[in-house]
Amino acid sequence: MRAESRAEVIELKKLRRISLGPVVTLMFENRVTMRSQIHEMIRAEKVMRDEQVMEELHAYNPLIPEAGQLSATLFIELVTEDEMREWLPKLVNIESSIVVRLSDGSEVRSITEEAHAEQLTRDYVTAAVHYVRFEFTPEQVEKFAAGGAQIACDHPAYQQSVSLQSSTVTELLNDLRA
């Protein structure tokens, strides 16, 4: 990936990254961010066989949203071992607790990406990374476009919300209206 392409992806990710309180960040994915992720893995691994590249594509393709969908990587951003011991047991099922709250008060709840769910969650502790998607009806897409949307977490141990900036709404509408 060329330097200017990396810079473009970094700028794109700034629009698509939402901090949801002190511990959770959502990175809304699309074809460009996923392609960048795969390129970075290939670069880091240096010698990937075709089969390995195909495995990565198979793993990441479900994270590319289709029309009417948003897809996100949910990061639980913890730095110390003490933080992990404190938070990861508390946040079991957080991946099902994220909502896009529309201006009329209706919500679009996160759906766990099934291809990754089994390997990421246990009954007693959650993983630091989850893959989720949001499925909108055409009416919900129009309400989202009208502005005033929020991203919220209604998990019993972690309740946060943040209003989406208009630039982020515009960017995410590219996915919803694809």
Give per-residue pLDDT as tens, 58-104.
Answer: 777 788 899 999 999 999 999 999 999 999 999 999 999 999 999 99
CB contact set of 19 (below 8 Å; sequence gap of 6+): 25, 162
> What per-residue confidence (pLDDT) applies to 151?
98
Name the more confident of 144 and 4. Answer: 144
More confident residue, 129 or 122: 129
Range of the domain at 59: 3-176
Contact 125, 89 (CB under 8 A): yes
What was the pLDDT predicted at 122? Answer: 67
Strands 24-29 and 17-20: antiparallel
Asked whether the whole model's pTM tops 0.75, one would answer yes
pLDDT confidence band for 174 (50 / 70 / 90): very high
CB atoms within 10 A of CB 141: 21
Total domains, the chain: 1
